[in-house]
Amino acid sequence: MYSSSLLEEVQREREASDALLLNILSEKTALEPKKSGKVEPLFYDSVSIMFTDFRGFTKSASEMLPEQLIKELDAVFDQFDYISQRHNLEKIKTIGDAYMVPVGFRKYP
């Protein structure tokens, strides 16, 4: 039989893993494998990618305290997340100052 502390540790690790997935992927994409055991691909006739990169970010970042840098990036990315959700877009990833969102267009149901 497993000890309750071991089960609690596994549960904490699972929660941390779930939180990381939700931070990286949309909720629908992150939860799909848990619900159905697989991921269904989506097909689009046409796709555009929005990719942002802030001019002068490396220089600005080197002159800021880490806490200030994270606070500013969070504020900007929160707005990008809001706009993405409002338009039913799915954030692919953020890396440093980069934010990537695909926009797909379907001609079929």
- B/e letters for 66-82, b = 16+ CB within 10 Å, e = fewer, are eeebeeebeeebeebbe
Note whether 71 and 105 are same-domain residues. yes
Note whether 55 and 79 are same-domain residues. yes
Q: What is the pLDDT of residues 48-90, one digit of tens each?
A: 888 888 888 889 889 999 999 989 888 998 998 888 888 877 7
Total structural domains within the chain: 2
pLDDT at 85: 83
- Higher per-residue pLDDT: 55 or 45: 55
The CATH number of whichever domain residue 51 belongs to comes to: 3.30.70.1230
Residue 94 has pLDDT above 90, yes or no: no
Residue 13 has pLDDT above 60, yes or no: yes
DSSP string, 53-99: --TTHHHHHHTS-HHHHHHHHHHHHHHHHHHHHHTT----EEETTEE
Note whether 1 and 53 are same-domain residues. no
pLDDT, mean over the chain: 82
Alpha-carbon torsion angle 87, 90, 93, 99, nearest 10: -10
pLDDT at 109: 54
Note whether 34 and 58 are same-domain residues. no
* Residues 10, 15: Cα–Cα separation, whole Å: 9
Burial of 99 (0-12, 13-18, 19+ CB in 10 A): buried
pLDDT at 106: 61
The residues near 101 (Cβ < 8 Å, ≥ 6 apart) are: 49, 50, 80, 84, 89, 90, 91, 92
Query: Taking the model in full, what pTM does it have?
Result: 0.56
